[in-house]
């Protein structure tokens, strides 16, 4: 079995424009500059550390700002759409027998409302939310422990450099998607296992990961039961 753990905002749901609108609305209250289209283009090229340094929000205020953004986003969720053909791809992945979860900074209630609105609730076995901005690595570790998962059976999918960093911190294979927040060049610099430019590419890469996993399990059983973590070939195009 392959376990697919998806990020939500920017990976499944096209929330970028809505989040920028919300954060611009809150800019005066939290004392940071509004994000212009030109500045957004620049911010998308940064790593997580660089982004925090450019945010002009004191670190102690970040959790409060995130909570406020989540609250505002809940009111906008019915107008948010999934990316392109991703909905069909997710249904196909579930039909293929993969176990699919979500691990997100967004509120679980907002995520579930989105999934119900678009008829995708049945796709996901678990939804984990309210993860801190820099807390995804530890959350992935807790998810692995709770479900007794090993690294070689998990593929994490996300759109930000921090998603790639979190997965790599836990020794997980990671598929970065270029249709979300982080710029493609910034994602490439993080060295993800896969890089998908379309949902259809993501579907193919999941298949490659799955069969690589199966081959590794077969090889391990032939060697007397020692199962190795699969060796993946990065699919990061020029």
Q: What ranges in the chain are assigned the alpha helix state H?
A: 16-25, 27-30, 37-43, 48-54, 62-76, 86-95, 108-117, 136-147, 161-169, 184-190, 199-222
**Neighbour-count burial for 161-176, b at 16+ CB within 10 Å, e otherwise:** bbbbbbbbebebbbbb
Q: Indicate the DSSP class of residue 171.
A: T
Residues annotated as catalytic are 7
Closest listed residue to residue 69, CA positions, set 38, 31, 107, 42: 107
Both tokens assigned to 88: 């069909």
């Amino acid at each position: 079995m392959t376990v697919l753990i998806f990020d939500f905002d920017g990976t499944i749901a096209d929330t970028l424009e809505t989040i920028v609108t919300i954060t611009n609305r809150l800019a005066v209250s939290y004392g940071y500059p509004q994000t212009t289209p030109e500045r957004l283009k620049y911010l998308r090229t940064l790593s997580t550390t660089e982004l925090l340094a450019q945010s002009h929000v004191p670190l102690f205020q970040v959790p409060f700002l995130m909570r406020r953004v989540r609250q505002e986003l809940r009111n906008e969720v019915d107008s948010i759409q999934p990316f392109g053909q991703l909905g069909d791809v997710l249904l196909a992945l579930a039909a293929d027998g993969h176990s699919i979860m979500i691990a997100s900074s967004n509120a679980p209630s907002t995520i579930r409302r989105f999934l119900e609105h678009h008829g995708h609730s049945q796709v996901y076995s678990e939804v984990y939310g309210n993860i801190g901005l820099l807390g995804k690595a530890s959350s992935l570790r807790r998810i692995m422990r709770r479900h007794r998962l090993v690294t070689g059976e998990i593929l994490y999918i996300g759109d930000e450099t921090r998603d790639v960093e979190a997965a790599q911190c836990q020794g997980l294979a990671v598929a970065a998607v270029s249709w979300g927040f982080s710029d493609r060049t910034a994602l490439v610099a993080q060295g993800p296992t896969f890089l998908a430019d379309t949902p259809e590419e993501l579907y193919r890469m999941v298949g490659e990961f799955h069969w690589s996993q199966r081959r590794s399990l077969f090889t391990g059983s032939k060697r007397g039961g020692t199962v190795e973590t699969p060796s993946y070939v990065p699919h990061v195009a020029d």
